[in-house]
Structure 1
Amino acid sequence: MFCRKRLTLARERRGLTGRQLSELSGINAVTISRLESGPTESPSSDTLARLAQTLNYPEAFFFKEAPEQLQTDIVSFRSMKKMNAAQRNAALWAGSLGLEIYDWLEQEYYLPKPSLPDLRLIGDAETAASHLRQEWALGDRPIGNVLRLLESKGVRILSLEEKNKSIDAFSFWRNERPFIFLNTFKTPERSIFDCGHELGHLVLHKHGDLPKSGRSKSNNGSESEEIDADRFASAFLMPEHDVKAVIPRNFINARRIIDAKKRWKVSAMALTRRLHRLKMLSDWQYRTLCIDLSRSGYRTSEAEGIERETSVVWDKVLKDMWSRKMTKEDLARHLNMPHDEVEKLVFGLVGKIAAPEKSKRHLTVV
């Protein structure tokens, strides 16, 4: 049966209004409206072909069961004020497609089981970050590969290639599995901080699940939650003892920060805020350094940046499939999705991959 929601999904993923889709496809706008929400149950074969061609979605996509539609009250969007409705909906639909990809993936592979503690009863974000580092036996050392670490703990990570800085990362829990979606349009350093920020939401606020105790999810996206998640990320990525041991308090300037940030793989601004938070910078020093770094372009980019981290899980999966002679088009056909949408969600790692066998394969992320 034709699924109305899937037409809405495809249209909004392509960034089109109903009128724009009508103009591009040559299909009457009223017909499109009726197909999405009105009395028309199914399009004619000609209409379906034109919709599929215009949207670059396979016809079979529109006959799958209704997609799981994410709602803004269960995801950790932090940039709601910056996004318009079209951008928000497109990102949420990307999340829906990501869930379908992971549903398929978990049928084919044994993935790491989630191992995230519930820290909602810990009142202080920095204490929670320290608690988690202790539970994961990280000590005070920098984290070599943040994505690898989170995936080894069972976090399902996918990418968003929205080509728009207004779209931040977001996260949620679904069926006791944690998900993070990262906008790879941001700098690699920002993506790493986003990982820490969303990890904070997952363990402190547990968006998407009914609250068992402690904080309610009803204030999702509130300023206090965002502050908590930022402080958690800062403390988790840049532990206090390591920062104080590495950076001399009596000699902190912009050059020192630019050199030191590489140790924790964070932005210059993030490290500056951390130093101020730890009282290693006075208010005057902090303002002066922010001005100096901004003038050098470090508020929006990183002139001396790092290599982007990508999903270790998807790298292993795709290499395994590649060894069994399956192309990216084969994978897309298996999922009944456009291959460009699949690539956008798996960090652009899709290459030649092989037909899945019946038995599941174990993935180890170390």
Structure 2
Amino acid sequence: MVTPSRITLARKRRGLTLAELSQLAGVSLQSLSNYETGRTAPRRTTVERLAGALGFPGGFFTGPEIDELPADGISWRARSKTPARTLDAARAAGTLAALLYDWIEERFRLPVADIPSLGKPDPETAAEMVRTTWGLGSSPAPNMVHLLEAHGIRVFSLAPDYAEVDAFAVWRGRTPFVFLNTMKSAERSRFDAAHELGHLVMHGSDRECVGPEAERQANDFASAFLMPASSVLGHMPAGAHVDQILKGKAIWNVSAMALTYRMHDLGLLTDWQYRSACTELSQRGYRKAEPDGMKKRETSQVLTKVFQGLRSTGMKPAAVAAELGLTPDEMNKMLFGLTMTMVDGGGQRAALEPRRALSLVP
């Protein structure tokens, strides 16, 4: 039996309108509308045409109902500039990643969410409180993906085919998710991870989480979380030159622009010094990239350990994709840049030990 919500999700994942899918699959627009609303069910041959047009295995469409990630719980950084269908596609990709998480959670014990609920403090105070709660003090933040995972946040990558979409975070029930754009520099991905943590901490389901003000708050949280005031004031001189900024950014593994902004925010750079530093950094290529930046991207320990554990039982990643009704390529996009595990062909289902615990470190 075909599940209507799965047709809709697959269509959104590919960024298609009903009219566009109708043309691609050779199925009437009215029929497609009926299939997605559940008024009628497609025949087997029609499902095959839809599967071919959407690039999903036919078995995907007969799985259980799927609840998409809540649209009203996501703060998109460039919503006004990004087409709605692109945002829908990114949310659909996130929903598929959540299905993978459900599959993993049935077999492995993952950390319980440990996100402080702080009322409505200012971003600087919120960052300090989370650092204190998590025992970070004023030391440079460790691997951000590991840190989020150790505190129960499920981290996946955004599909590379929607590189224009920034990272986003969302609560799915009591489980927090963060989706990172891994096409950026390693330093900017760290900032994105801290930015989305800010949303989870400051903009829960009962608080406003959209709009420019929420984005400013999340940016300020990320800046304070990654570069504690006492640490920056202790390491960086007032009026630092660009070469000093480039040397100093390695202390916190942040971008040169992020450190420059933080120094200006803390009064270490005057307005003129800040503008001059930004201009010079831009001329040196630091506006959109990070020359001579971090050597390695921060990756997921949860996903890496899960797939290593599965391989030890004889279950290959491609078999996991098959159980989810996905292609290996689709599942790879959830893991892109977060794990060295790549989905290779074949693989048989193996008997798994019940809910093995993963040993995680921040």
Normalization by structure 2: what TM-score? 0.92
- Write the mapping of 1:180-259 to structure 2, written as runs, cut at 5 A: 180-206=178-204, 209=205, 211=206, 217=207, 219-250=208-239, 252-259=240-247
SS for the counterpart of 1:290 is helix
CA 1:293–1:163: 2 relative to 1, 3 Å? farther
SS for the counterpart of 1:2 is coil
SS for the counterpart of 1:226 is helix
Percent identity between matched residues is 42
Q: Which amino acid aligns with 2:155?
A: I
> Who is 1:268 aligned against?
256
User: Which deviates more, 322-331 or 268-277?
Assistant: 322-331
User: Which deviates more, 98-107 or 23-32?
Assistant: 23-32
> Who is 1:359 aligned against?
354
Contact 1:108 1:356 in 2 (8 A): no
Counterpart of 1:317 (choices 301, 306, 320) is: 306
User: Which deviates more, 166-175 or 284-293?
Assistant: 166-175
User: Which deviates more, 189-198 or 301-310?
Assistant: 301-310
User: Which deviates more, 195-204 or 323-332?
Assistant: 323-332
Contact 1:321 1:356 in 2 (8 A): no
2-structure distance, mates of 1:309, 1:357: 28
Deviation string, structure 1 residues 17-53 (Cα, Å, up to 9, x no partner): 33433343333444333323474x2112111112112
Offset, 1:324? 1.6
2-structure distance, mates of 1:155, 1:32: 36
Structure 1 unmatched ranges of 5 or more: 212-216
> Who is 1:214 aligned against?
none
- Write the mapping of 1:73-222 to structure 2, written as runs, cut at 5 A: 73-121=72-120, 123-206=121-204, 209=205, 211=206, 217=207, 219-222=208-211
Offset, 1:346? 2.2
CA 1:97–1:356: 2 relative to 1, 3 Å? farther
Q: Which amino acid aligns with 1:270?
A: A
> Who is 1:59 aligned against?
58
Contact 2:155 2:180 in 1 (8 A): yes
Q: Which amino acid aligns with 1:359?
A: P
2-structure distance, mates of 1:83, 1:231: 23
1-structure distance, mates of 2:268, 2:24: 58
- Across the aligned residues of Structure 1 and Structure 2, the Cα RMSD in angstroms comes to 1.9
Normalization by structure 1: what TM-score? 0.91
> Who is 1:342 aligned against?
331
Offset, 1:66? 2.3
SS for the counterpart of 2:170 is strand
2-structure distance, mates of 1:65, 1:200: 33
Offset, 1:15? 2.6
CA 1:200–1:230: 2 relative to 1, 3 Å? same
2-structure distance, mates of 1:188, 1:95: 21
CA 1:246–1:145: 2 relative to 1, 3 Å? same
Contact 2:138 2:228 in 1 (8 A): yes
CA 1:168–1:266: 2 relative to 1, 3 Å? same
Contact 1:261 1:267 in 2 (8 A): yes
Contact 1:82 1:166 in 2 (8 A): no
2-structure distance, mates of 1:192, 1:200: 13
2-structure distance, mates of 1:356, 1:259: 51
Contact 1:163 1:185 in 2 (8 A): no
Query: In the comparison of the two structures, how many residue pairs are matched?
Result: 354
2-structure distance, mates of 1:15, 1:228: 30
1-structure distance, mates of 2:200, 2:38: 38
> Who is 1:305 aligned against?
293
Offset, 1:165? 4.3
Offset, 1:231? 0.8
Structure 2 unmatched ranges of 5 or more: none
